[in-house]
Amino acid sequence: MATVILHYGDPALAATLADSLRRADPDPVNHAERVLVLDNAAPRPATGAWRRLPDNLFWGGALAYCLDAARDMGCTHLWFLNNDISFETRPPLVARAALRMARMGAALAARGLGGPAGRVGVYAPAVDRNPYHPQMVRDARIQYRRVALVDGIAPLMDLECAREVGGADCADNPRGYGVDVWLSLRAHRAGWPVVVDHQLVVRHRYHTTARSVDGFMDAAARAEHDYMTRRLGPAWRDEVARLQHQWTDETTL
């Protein structure tokens, strides 16, 4: 599994997150050596970045880049993290996510609900609060939640699933708003389980970087509207709202 933190904006955000993940999973067998910072051509370069891109690919373009890069590294999974998250769960973290994702896939397959080879397609940690996606908000009473789509602040993707459903599909929307929803929804529709883990929790500072770039959020919102209209129709907001409440809670694992 490759764990990639996307850097743009304040270099301290990605550095702090990378350090916390490496300290939480210090054994290379438990993925510490594959906690990587991708510098997205940031004006303030990241220190010790895995790679620095020559141009800003934005979120969607960087996701597409990392899906290919993870495959080239021989990985089967990519955990793609915003730089403005922190973990509320005690260590280990990367190893815990990988193990729980695998166990969820096996548990669902035993009930005839799993994806190909008994795997989960898209996994995401729950969030302490989320003003956009109610299905992502932590509920400590459950183990995990099967959902139709996830917020893209920290998606962990099976690369075979991503390839099967057509990849990031962001050529017409590299800024990325809506790309996360559409990718996870395609996985769900293709029969790959999409899950939110309510025993692994993150805190997210929404739009930390986006708000620092003048005009970005307005441009990204306009691009999202065009992108989602082409894929889900003019009433796409209503459809997403309906899908956000389409979930099944699982209390055992």
With cut-offs at 50, 70 and 90, classify the pLDDT of residue 28. Answer: low
> What residues does each domain of the chain span?
2-250
Tally the C-alpha atoms within 13 A of residue 55's C-alpha that lie toward its C-beta. Answer: 5
Note the pLDDT of residue 95: 94
| 130 pLDDT above the threshold of 90 | no
pLDDT attached to residue 212: 57
Token pair in block for residue 87: 């973990």
pLDDT digits (tens, 9 = 90+) for 98-112: 999 999 999 999 999
**Cα end-to-end distance, the chain, whole Å:** 22
Q: What pLDDT, on the 0 to 100 scale, is given for residue 209?
A: 58
| Average pLDDT of the chain to the nearest whole number | 93
**Which residues are CB-neighbours of 82 under 8 A, at least 6 positions away?**
5, 6, 152, 153, 154, 204
Mean pLDDT confidence for 65-75: 97
Give me the architecture of the 2-250 domain, per CATH: Alpha-Beta Complex (3.90)
Residues 184-239: tens digit of each pLDDT: 999 999 999 999 999 999 999 865 554 555 566 788 888 999 999 999 999 999 99
pLDDT of residue 18: 96
Please report where in the chains the tokens 């003019």 appear, as a residue. 234
pLDDT in tens, 46-58: 999 999 999 999 9
Nearest to 5 by CA among 48, 42, 33, 36: 36
